[in-house]
């Protein structure tokens, strides 16, 4: 195959430049298909839980990731396109390779104050921690207890069936 003249001339610097771009890219994303690991998930029209779900997505289903926005993944599932929160993929992390990090060490360590402000979420666990320190009378231990209570999905389905309710 005949190599164009401009490419012949540029071969000297093209390969190193491509290497630099590849090495310098902050993230090299891996597979674009992810497996849903939590029960009772849904596709949403917008990247938030407020809207009406488009369709349910069971645990174990594989979805194709189109794009991401913060904690939300735009995915395709059975002909539908919608948004799913990353929490639905609790155990399935997209493989990421950060060569610069491996070669030159991690990023600049910021203080907690910076993390609070720069996380993109104004009210974060760090803000809650500060609030708890200021208000020891608030009973967060009981809140944790309430949140730790989970209804088993199989038991809930049996409960719904026994009561003649709609699954």
Token pair, residue 124, equals: 């974060």
Among the residue ranges 29-37, 61-69, 89-97, 132-140, the one whose residues contact another protein (CB under 8 A): 132-140
Query: Where does residue 43 rank: exposed (0-12), middle (13-18), buried (19+ CB within 10 A)?
Result: buried
Single residue of 1, 5, 7, 103 touching another protein by CB under 8 A: 103
The CA–CA distances, whole Å, from 58 to 55, 89, 101 equal: 10, 11, 36
Among the residue ranges 29-37, 60-68, 73-81, 96-104, the one whose residues contact another protein (CB under 8 A): 96-104
Name which of 42 and 77 has its Cβ closer to another protein. Answer: 42
Is residue 35 within 8 A of residue 60, CB to CB? The reply is: yes
Binding mask 4-43 for another protein (x = CB under 8 A): --------xx--xx-xxx-xxxx-------------xxx-
Among the residue ranges 59-67, 74-82, 89-97, 98-106, the one whose residues contact another protein (CB under 8 A): 98-106
Single residue of 2, 52, 79, 154 touching another protein by CB under 8 A: 52
In angstroms, the CA 41 to CA 21 distance is 38
Among positions 107-126, residues that touch another protein (CB under 8 A) are 107-108, 111-114, 116-118, 120-126
Least distance to another protein from the beta carbon of 105, Å?
6
Q: Does 79 contact another protein by CB under 8 A?
A: no
- Residues forming beta bridges with residue 63, ordered by sequence position: 34
| Number of Cβ atoms within 10 Å of the Cβ of 125 | 10
Which strand (E) or helix (H) includes residue 8? helix 5-24
């Amino acid at each position: 195959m005949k190599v164009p003249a401009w490419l012949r001339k540029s071969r000297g610097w093209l390969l190193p430049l491509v290497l630099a771009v590849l090495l310098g890219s902050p993230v090299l994303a891996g597979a674009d298909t992810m497996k849903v690991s939590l029960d009772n998930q849904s596709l949403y029209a917008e990247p938030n839980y407020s809207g009406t779900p488009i369709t349910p997505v069971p645990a174990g289903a594989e979805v194709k990731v189109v794009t991401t926005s913060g904690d939300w993944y735009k995915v395709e599932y059975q002909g539908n396109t919608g948004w799913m929160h990353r929490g639905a993929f609790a155990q399935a992390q997209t493989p990421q390779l950060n060569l610069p990090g491996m070669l030159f060490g991690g990023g600049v360590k910021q203080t907690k104050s910076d993390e609070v402000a720069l996380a993109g979420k104004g009210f974060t666990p760090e803000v809650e921690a500060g609030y708890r320190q200021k208000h020891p009378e608030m009973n967060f231990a009981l809140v944790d207890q309430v949140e730790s209570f989970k209804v088993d999905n199989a038991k809930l389905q049996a409960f719904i069936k026994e009561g003649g309710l709609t699954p």
